[in-house]
Every structure is written in C-alpha cells, then in structure tokens.
Structure 1
C-alpha cells in the first residue's frame, strides 16, 4: 500500500501547501467545491469527491492513490455521473503524475486490461477512448 494512504486523517491543505483558503466571492461552484474538498480529511473523501479532484488535477500525488485503490476493487465504479467516471478521470491524469506512481499505474493498467471488451464498449465513447489510450 502506498505510504500516502497513511495520511488519511490529514487534509490536502495540510499535505499539499500552500493552503488555498477561501475562494473568491465570485468563484464558480466547481472552484468552491474544490476549495472545500481540500479541507476534508483524505479518509473522508467519497468517490465523487475523488473524481472531482482527479479530473481537476488537484494534489494528484495524494488523491490518485485513493482513486486507484477504489478502482482496483471496482474499475467501472460509478462515482457520480456514470459507470466508469472515476476511471475516466484517472486514466486522463497527466503522464507526469503516473510517472511518480509507477506501481499504481501498472496495477490500474492491469485491472483495466482485464475488463471484458463488452464492458468497455458500453462506456461513454470518450471514456472508452481514454481507457484505450491509457492501456495502449
């Protein structure tokens, strides 16, 4: 297990300085949500929260391992929008983030490669394309 998972009682504001503080008064709902999620202990982040943070590329060294842990158990997890939405966010993470997490990359790649072709084909087209690019 990745040692970043030992920090489940800490927040992204603790682990990924500087603290972001409160968003601007005219911030979008997404910006407000991300700011709020940075104050939640890692162990309390839900799949939908992880999908948001990963898709927004926030503190990937901390949130990507948490997302992969869920995806190894259920690669097609429906975090919020549709089946495979957390997977979609994870496989679209930048190569530099995955380079820092080679074991997690290999584990997720193996789990995704093992998915039945019909299951991947049933995913939304952009998700299926992102999965194919990740495993290529």
Structure 2
C-alpha cells in the first residue's frame, strides 16, 4: 500500500498499517513511551492534533501521520496542538527530509501553507521558527 493511501483507512491503527505491532511497553517505561504505544492503537481518524504532534516529534510512522498533520495545517497553519501556537507546524517541518521525500504532494501543500503566512504571524513564533520554515520551503532538510 502506498503511504498516501492511508486516508482511505482512517478506521485502522498504526499497529495495523505500520507493522510490526509494538509490544506492550515495559512497566518502567516513561510516560512518553507509554503514550506513543497507546497512540499506535488509536484509529487514524481518532488522532488529534496533540497526538499527531507527539507521533511526528517521535518520528513514528511518518508516512501515515504527516499527511494527517498537513490536513490539519491546511485548515489552521498556526494550530496550537499542545505547547504553543504553531507547534504542530514546526514539528512537521522538522520531520526528516527522507519522510517528506515519500510524500512530495503533501510537502508541496505544506510549503504553500507556509508561503501564505504573514510576517507578523511568523514573528510571533518561537526564536528560529522563521528560519526553520524558510528551510523547509526551500526544500532543505532539518538541521542537526
């Protein structure tokens, strides 16, 4: 199945679409590890903005979660998913370029969203955000 076909499977989970299924985390696993494991068992259609931000930040099943993030960002580019306005956008643009290479149409859509942002909107984002957005828009991969 093509990674972009996932939108036809919003009733399926990452454990189903991105094998192998993950084992139950260890009893002493961190809260983040337990959360990511739990999110892999949620149908794609049930993942919210904060869930997507977490999965993208942790680089989990990116061919499936990045398109969902882009879908939200088209509607609301500076969505406050969890921590601050624009956090989902900045997390998405910092996903590995190898993941975006699998999703050229979604990358192009996100670039279009970024180019429509006004300077004042970008200025209100955290320090370095303008550079991260410009780097993504230019087709360059994340730093570091």
The normalised TM-score by structure 2 is 0.90
Aligned counterpart, 1:4? 6
Please report how far the alpha carbon of residue 113 of structure 1 lies from its aligned counterpart in structure 2 after TM superposition. Answer: 1.1
Contact 1:85 1:127 in 2 (8 A): no
Aligned counterpart, 2:141? none
Aligned counterpart, 1:75? 77
Aligned counterpart, 1:95? 97
Aligned runs of 1:1-136 on 2, under 5 Å? 2-136=4-138
Write the distance in 1 (CA, Å) between the matches of 2:106 and 2:14: 20
Please report how far the alpha carbon of residue 132 of structure 1 lies from its aligned counterpart in structure 2 after TM superposition. Answer: 2.3
What is the root-mean-square deviation in Å for CA atoms of aligned residues? 1.0
The normalised TM-score by structure 1 is 0.95
Write the distance in 1 (CA, Å) between the matches of 2:130 and 2:50: 19
1:54-95: CA deviation from partner (whole Å, max 9, x where unpaired): 011000000000000000111100111000000011000100
